[in-house]
Amino acid sequence: MSLPQQAATRVVGIVANPASGKDVRRLTARASVFDNQEKAAIVRRCLAGIAAQRRRGQTSQEDSRTAVLVRYLPDSHNIVASAAEETGIAATPLDIEASGTAADTRAAAEALKGAATVITLGGDGTNRAFAQGWLDAPLIPLSTGTNNAFPHMQEATAAGVAAGLVASGGVPLAAVSERAKVIHVAIEAEPDDLALIDAVATTDRFLGARAIVDPRTWIMAVLTRADPAAVGMTGVAGFALPLAASCDGGVLIEFAADERPATRVLHAPVAPGHFADVAVAATRNVALNAPVHLQGPATLAFDGERERTLKPGQRATFTMRRDGPHVISVRRALAHAARAGRLSVERGALSAGEREGPPLARGARPAHPTPSNSTGD
């Protein structure tokens, strides 16, 4: 059940995946760990940014009908709930019973349909699950996972301000976002699936730990982007045929096997801090809406995790379209708002004390802090 239409236009959703940043790649590679305390700290900064923008947009005539609202996915670790309680910023949980699986994220996406914007905390898999529930959602994806290509590492305070700007109408969504590409996967006699970054076929017989880190098992990969500065399949593809997310189309890589001799070998980072030789048979660009066909047996991994299996002779078709989430650029949103004067506080909305600042002792001068190189860590 989605949000009521009238209220949804001013809602900021927050979906924090408690499981992201903790998978097997912490053991098989040198990936960083994002614990749930760090995620709660990120959410606190998001909420502070939302609250600051909400206050900036207030006037003495404004009432609760125009305020930005925060709705969030409840989880067993109370990531958002604890952050909201600590900051004193009102946030309302969605009516979803947490199961601790990706189904929670899909349910949250369906419940948040119509929201002005949604901040996600997680990895490629988290955002894929969200897109399964709401394909064309307006997203600010914050990275707390592994080998991420879809979400970004960026300051959560600024992300909160950007979310508040979009929700309050301070900036138009179309001016500060880009539509993501999606790989639509049609599997013979089974439900369809999708990937936001890559769809990979492997010779693995079991889903197992789900992560794909052994290039000797790779058959082929279809990717929406190929970034040589990334790690994982996106980085491998970037070593072979770079392609930006903003470019239409994608990349197809066929990996070498007995019947497909290698044309080159890439020594590429297949996981954080872990390099391997990857034997490549062929690479080419794939146009939007151009199908790529595969016949089983194979195991299919979507956005870095093994999800589906193809039986011998079973067919799958991969088709890329630019019909995915509207990914909001935090930098563009803030720059757009600054140029439009949306980051100023109306003087009439300030109290006398706020206008004058804190009282000074007799004869004291206002302090002017000296810039410091300290990070405060």
**Domain locations along the chain:** 5-180+324-349, 182-321
Instruction: Reply yes or no on whether the pLDDT at 6 is more than 70.
Output: no
Instruction: Reply yes or no on whether the pLDDT at 346 is more than 80.
Output: no
More confident residue, 16 or 369: 16
Fold type of domain 182-321? Tumour Suppressor Smad4 (2.60.200)
Instruction: Reply yes or no on whether the pLDDT at 360 is more than 50.
Output: no
Output the pLDDT for position 55.
66
Output the pLDDT for position 225.
98
Element spanning 8, H or E: helix 5-8
Burial 347-377 (b: 16+ CB within 10 A, else e): eeeeeeeeeeeeeeeeeeeeeeeeeeeeeee
d(CA 270, CA 274) in angstroms, rounded, equals 6
Output the pLDDT for position 355.
44
Per the rule left: phi > 0, alpha: psi between -120 and 50, beta: everything else, 376 is: left
Torsion, Cα of 188, 193, 197, 198 (10° steps) = -30
Task: Check if the beta carbon of residue 99 is closer than 8 Å to that of residue 73.
Answer: no
| Average pLDDT rounded to a whole number, residues 208-220 | 81
CB count in 10 Å sphere of residue 103: 14
Instruction: Reply yes or no on whether the pLDDT at 162 is more than 80.
Output: yes
Instruction: Reply yes or no on whether the pLDDT at 61 is more than 50.
Output: no
| Average pLDDT rounded to a whole number, residues 211-217 | 85
CB count in 10 Å sphere of residue 44: 20
| Average pLDDT rounded to a whole number, residues 271-276 | 92
Output the pLDDT for position 205.
78
Chain Cα centroid distance, residue 320: 19
Q: Residue 8: name the closest of 125, 110, 81 by CA.
A: 110
Instruction: Reply yes or no on whether the pLDDT at 267 is more than 60.
Output: yes
Torsion, Cα of 98, 24, 109, 39 (10° steps) = 80
Structure-token match 């000074």, residue found: 360
Superfamily of domain 5-180+324-349, CATH level 4: Probable inorganic polyphosphate/atp-NAD kinase; domain 1 (3.40.50.10330)
Torsion, Cα of 213, 218, 224, 228 (10° steps) = 60
pLDDT range class, residue 57, cuts 50, 70, 90: low
Instruction: Reply yes or no on whether the pLDDT at 104 is more than 50.
Output: yes
CA distances from 256 to 157, 280, 321, 329 (A): 45, 5, 27, 38
Which residues are CB-contacts of 102 (< 8 A; sequence separation ≥ 6)? Answer: 125, 126, 129
Task: Check if the beta carbon of residue 197 is closer than 8 Å to that of residue 225.
Answer: yes
Output the pLDDT for position 293.
99
d(CA 112, CA 94) in angstroms, rounded, equals 8
Output the pLDDT for position 20.
66
pLDDT range class, residue 246, cuts 50, 70, 90: very high
Q: Which range scores top for mean pLDDT: 196-210, 255-269, 353-367?
A: 255-269
Burial of 259 (0-12, 13-18, 19+ CB in 10 A): exposed
| Helix %, strand %, coil % of the chain (to 5) | 30, 30, 45
CA angle 343, 345, 349 (to 5 degrees): 155
Instruction: Reply yes or no on whether the pLDDT at 29 is more than 60.
Output: no
